[in-house]
Amino acid sequence: MNDDHLIIFVKNPFFNKQDKKNNDKKYLLPVYLELLQHTASIANDLDVDKHLYYDKYIENDNSFNDKDFDKKIHNSNLPKQQIYDALKEVFGRWAKKIVLIGTESMHLNKQDIQHAFSQLDYTDVVIIPKLSGGILLFGMNAFNSNFLNHYPWENENDLLDTIIQLQKLNKSYSVLEAKESVIFEDIKL
């Protein structure tokens, strides 16, 4: 068992009959699958415990193998509750540091995640913002329900709201260089 834990949130891709007729959406699946493969290749190289949280069902694929990844399905559709539940569960497994990411950036790399874990030796929270707004990577070295319950997640003010709340709670934090992300807003893949 490792003290460092990586949580990855994965949205399951699916197309309904109407989507198959919609040419605008046909390009999304290859992009999404490339992002999944990129995220898996980063995670596979890290010496941490790895947890995948799927939104609908557990995908049995070659990207995230069952041997190296603990796979679960979210119990909630609300991003705030998903984050709270995942952090609470993994800290309950004696994790000392947790980094949480999604699968939406080709620009996030192994060194970024390793740097985030190392920053958690000196600060309570580490963040890599999205250039488009929001948070791409979020890490903590202790579970804090007061912090996690304060505001809604997944909006354009996530970074500012996070920093304000951390300052109110006298928590130390490190904001690393912002990265690009792919935005699939309200698109069912």
Those residues of the chain that have pLDDT short of 70 are 14-26, 150-155, 183-189
pTM, entire model: 0.90
CB 49 within 8 A of CB 92: no
pLDDT of the residue at 189:
44
Per-residue model confidence as pLDDT tens digits over 92-146: 999 999 999 999 889 999 999 999 999 999 999 999 998 888 889 999 999 988 8
Distance separating alpha carbons of residues 103 and 126, to the nearest angstrom: 18
Classify residue 116 as exposed, middle or buried by CB count within 10 Å of its CB (0-12, 13-18, 19+). buried
pLDDT of the residue at 186:
40
Distance separating alpha carbons of residues 79 and 152, to the nearest angstrom: 8
